[in-house]
Amino acid sequence: MLDTLLPILIFSALALAAIGAWRRLRLWRQGRPSPVPILKGLAAMPRRYLVDLHHVVGRDKVMSNTHVATAGGFVAAAALMLLVHGLGFDSPVLGGLLLLASATMFVGSRFVARRRRNPPARLSKGPWMRLPKSLAAFSAGVFLITLPTVGVLPEDFGSGILALVLAAVVAWGLGELFFGMTWGGPMKHAFAGALHLAFHRRAERFSTRTGGAGRSTGLKALDLDDPEAPLGVEKPSDFTWNQLLGFDACVQCGRCEAMCPAFAAGQPLNPKKLIQDMVVGLAGGSDAAYAGSPYPGKPVGEHHGTPHGPIVAREGKALVDAETLWSCTTCRACVEECPMMIEHVDAIVDMRRFLTLEHGNTPGKGAEVLDNLIATDNPGGFDPGSRLHWAADLNLPLMADVKQTDVLLWLGDGAFDMRNQRTLRAFVKVLRAANVDFAVLGNEERDSGDVARRLGDEATFQSLAKRNIATLARYRFQRIVTCDPHSFHVLGNEYGELGGAYDVCHHSTFIAELYQAGRLAFAPWKGGSVTYHDPCYLGRYNGEYEAPRAVLKALGIEVAEMARSGFRSRCCGGGGGAPITDIPGERRIPDMRMADVQETGAELVAVGCPQCTAMLEGVVDAGAEVRDIAELVADALVETPADGETQSQRPQAVEVV
């Protein structure tokens, strides 16, 4: 009886899965076109899965092994089952392999079940709670029905009530794993995830066989020359089809939620929920079925959307509230942590673009900052002619005078901020001590456009970027060095698309190089214990974790690392225009970060970003002092034996404001 029943079950499950797959494909294709190499992508998919994806999953060893056993066992068991039970190739060898595969999968399913016994808050419940049972049903069922094939049980075992029960168990497993995979069950992540990896919008972020695990963090430019091109994303169908596919790949593991600084601060954002809301939007419906943590302060079930309806309503409620989108600091912690390689920040900025460019609804001080950027080229609305006032006594060489130089020092908007001016002065002192040939653009410099872009004002960003690129094109320099990781990211990763390719580095990288070349010498460190805060735009955006630590080590400082450091560093709360839009939460992000600092017992926290400095220094009653790496280096400078004499003559190099 099983011999006739099983092929019917298997092939009808496959047929239903195929129909579901087609329906799902149609849902994704509602999105805007985005050309991807189909065959190349599919060919690259196994490597992207086995190497890049498992590199992220592997951060949790138990879950990684569980997934290998369960998913590997399932893929092998499904293929073998098709041969053995579907097509009738019942050789004992294949049967034995099938037994092995289903047994492996069963073991895996037990670990999945253990994970679900006391699930952490970040995991979604609901249908996900039945997944271990379905996995167990499938693997155990397949194991038992395969026993007769290898001769452990008699052939006529497959008849009677027992066989019916077994067939029912297998049917349950098939339903969850084949049918549910394409019709929207928890296993959807396998189907959508595999295709998402193949057709990812940022193919360059995956490693290749020739090495180079790429980094792809720059936002993609809007086409402003075409008056018909939409300005950002209004409806779910305004995303590109592979973005929609990416949302659908979400496995609701909540690693993003656990890392999100805005969620931790009680601001109304949860990256996982946001992605799930996009899935609701692409299929149409309400978020009532969502079974994970909600946006803080926003109950589940009040929002609904359709593929061609607005995501954010001008009035009232739609799929997502605007303040959810404005809570994001664009720190990329969610993207870094996502095992499905989903691009949350791209999606958030896409939606912000629509709110700013079409609704004209940037919250908080957003409108004022954008107006300032348009009128004065800096967010504070300062006189652009006063950009160099802080350096009136430093006699900085101007690009307009020297025309060419080794190092172009990009000042950034910190030049208008009295706190950051101390950092800049310190770094100038370091450059002079190392006899670096450098110059600044001075009043010709404009804001890099970072804030405008992240507030969604792509038009102002592109206007600033194009004018900066035109200015830079007039001069010759080897590289750009900046004390501002945001400028670093924008100049290095985002100007390329607009026609400006530069070799940019952060001042800590440059100081580390100078030290290694023996051009700097430091007095031994006499202060207390020190910790280091990784700026998001230096670390996660640009992969620079080592140089700042190398500089601190060269200073004789042993860094007392925070629990969340390196690629898991917690944001200071200053990115993405978050201090400008200022969405209220229960706590402040910088307060949480200073609490992290306090946990290490450090008396000083070294930073490398003007935003981080401002945010962390703004914390009331902080136990630790906030100093930029450049300041620490400038304080520790001693004469290098080779050219110390010339340096010691310069009075301006000694002054510290």
Binding footprint of another protein on the chain (CB under 8 A): 227, 231, 356-362, 366-367, 370-371, 374-377, 381-384, 457, 459
SS3 381: coil
Tokens 């900066």 found at = 468
Q: Which is nearer to another protein, 368 or 617 (CB)?
A: 368
CB contact at 8 A, 311 and 320: yes
In DSSP notation, 454-470 reads: HTT-HHHHHHHHHHHHH
Of the pair 56, 367, the CB lying nearest another protein is at 367
Rounded to a whole number of angstroms, the minimum distance from the CB of residue 583 to another protein is 17
Instruction: Please count the helices (runs of H) and the strands (runs of E) in the chain.
Output: 30, 11
As measured in angstroms, the least distance from the Cβ of 231 to another protein is: 5
358 vs 558 by CB, closer to another protein: 358
* 3-state DSSP assignment of residue 132: helix
Give 350 or 544: the residue with its C-beta nearer to another protein: 350
Quick one: which H or E segment has residue 481? strand 476-482
Smallest distance from another protein to CB 239, Å = 18
Residues forming a β-bridge with 440: 398, 409
Residue with tokens 């004002």: 457
Could you tell me how far CA 84 lies from the centroid of its own chain?
43
Number of C-alpha atoms within 13 angstroms, CB side, residue 398? 12
> By the 8 A CB rule, do 235 and 310 touch?
yes
Closer residue to another protein (CB): 154 or 316: 316
Question: Of 157 and 382, which has the nearer Cβ to another protein?
Answer: 382
Residue with tokens 């038992």: 144
**Cβ closest to another protein, residue 361 vs residue 640:** 361
User: Closest separation between CB of residue 228 and another protein, Å?
Assistant: 10
Which is closer to another protein, CB of 358 or CB of 643? 358
Q: Minimum distance between the CB of residue 356 and another protein, rounded to whole angstroms?
A: 7
Q: Give the residue with the Cβ less far from another protein, 12 or 443.
A: 443
Output the smallest distance, CB 390 to another protein, in A.
18
The answer to whether the CB of 572 falls within 8 A of the CB of 611 is yes
The sheet carrying 625-628 orders its strands as 530-532, 604-607, 625-628
Least Å distance between CB 449 and another protein? 14
Please report how close the Cβ of residue 261 comes to another protein at its closest, in angstroms. Answer: 27
User: Of 292 and 577, which has the nearer Cβ to another protein?
Assistant: 577
Query: Minimum CB separation from another protein for residue 380, in Å?
Result: 11
Angle at 168 between CA 163 and CA 173, to 5 degrees: 125
Distance of CA 411 to the CA centre of its chain: 27
Walk across the sheet containing 438-440 and list its strands. 438-440, 404-410, 476-482, 504-506
How distant, in Å, are the alpha carbons of 261, 304, 580, 621 from that of 587? 10, 28, 16, 15
Q: Give Cβ neighbours of residue 488 (< 8 Å, ≥ 6 apart).
A: 482, 504, 505, 506, 537, 538, 542
Q: How far is the CB of 230 from another protein (least distance, A)?
A: 9
**Three-state SS at 628:** strand
